[in-house]
Amino acid sequence: MSSSASRRGFALFLVLVMVSIVASFLFSVYFLSGKGYERAENFKDYSVAYHAAASAVKMALKFLEEDDNGFDGEGDNWARPIFYNYRGITISLRIKDECGMLNVNKLTDTRYYKIARRLFQELEIDPDTADALKDWIDPDSEPSWGGAESEYYRGIGYLPTNGKARSLGEIRYIKGINDRLFKKLENFLTTYGNGKINVNSAPKALLTALSPQMTEEAADSIIEARPVKKLSDLKELPGFSEELYFEIRPLITNKCDFFRIEATASFGEAVAVVKAFTDRHKILEWKVVQ
């Protein structure tokens, strides 16, 4: 799907949605008007903004369903931010694939555990945080060197999952992770995907953490070569060797089927922000941020 065609389709879709939204909320405004005009107007404005944001998420799914160019990440049509204005309703839509992040549910695999420790060192975070993450999801009750198991968590009123984390928000409960650290980590960690890291969207710190042999030059050359349409092309990049390529090859991909969608819509004085985690066909998580 071309970018221009996508945007025309998006515009048409939103026109139809906006018309239905305004019509459906006339009754709500009428009902609330008896409780105060200002309150009714605020409710109407937020309702319109929220439904516009929700509709934008559904339109993002349509973009993803129709994407078939063989790669995902930087350079893809859906990866470009979209801004639209229709009769005072302003919408901003951003889509990011989840495979450009490290899946915490893979940390029981020694290869991913080592990547996590190197990543945290790159981010100037205590590498023992990787031990705490691994202990949270592994099935045993033996704490790692810097981790914690049931005995520690029982003292603060809950127990570790000892299984896969279903949402990234779950890691807020893990030893050593506070709100400040979570905000830093949520751009590098995920709970979706098979663990393979997308070279077309992974940040430099994660690319560098893939291997002790991965130099800054090699990581920069991946970023400059995006979109990488064939993984074998990595062997020809500056800073790469065949040895490095074949070491990281089982850990990387240039595609993804899981996405993070953030839609912001404003109408009047109201702003609504919706964040969704999806595959190419359906919503997996939904959160109203504002």
pLDDT in tens, 230-262: 999 999 999 999 999 999 999 999 999 999 999
CATH number assigned to the domain with residue range 3-97+258-288, chosen from the 4 options 3.40.50.970, 3.30.465.10, 1.10.3210.10, 3.30.1300.30: 3.30.1300.30
pLDDT in tens, 47-76: 888 888 988 898 899 889 989 899 999 889
Beta-strand pair 283-288/102-103: unpaired
Q: What is the spatial order of strands in the sheet that 270-278 belongs to? A: 82-86, 89-97, 259-267, 270-278, 283-288
pLDDT bucket at 140, cuts 50 / 70 / 90 = very high
The correct answer on CATH 1.10.1040.10 for the domain covering 102-253 is no
- The candidate with the shortest Cα–Cα distance to 120, out of 1, 205, 244, is 205
pLDDT grade for 27, boundaries at 50, 70 and 90 = very low
pLDDT above 70 for 18: no
Per-residue pLDDT at 271: 93
Positive or negative: CA dihedral 278, 264, 183, 76: positive
Residue 149 is given by DSSP the state -
* Element of type H or E holding 253: strand 252-253
Percentage of the residues of the chain whose pLDDT score is greater than 90? 67
Whether residue 6 is predicted with pLDDT greater than 60 in this model: the reply is no
**Quick one: pLDDT at residue 23?**
42
pLDDT computed for residue 19 by the predictor:
46
pLDDT, one tens digit per residue, over 168-202 is: 999 999 999 999 999 999 999 999 999 999 999 99
Q: 276 pLDDT exceeds 50?
A: yes
Residue type, 74: E
- In the chain, where are the structural domains located? 3-97+258-288, 102-253
Amino acid at position 218, single letter: A
Q: What is the mean pLDDT of residues 132-151?
A: 94
How high is the pLDDT of residue 50?
Answer: 87
pLDDT band for position 98 (cuts 50, 70, 90): very high
Question: Judging by beta carbons within 10 Å of its beta carbon (0-12, 13-18, 19+), is residue 161 exposed, middle or buried?
Answer: middle
DSSP 215-233: -HHHHHHHHHH-S-S-GGG
Which two structure tokens, joined as six digits, stand for 180? 């400040």
Least confident of 33-37, 156-160, 185-189: 33-37
Three-point CA angle 221, 227, 232, nearest 5°: 70
Q: What single-letter amino acid sits at 169? A: G
The DSSP call for residue 72 is -
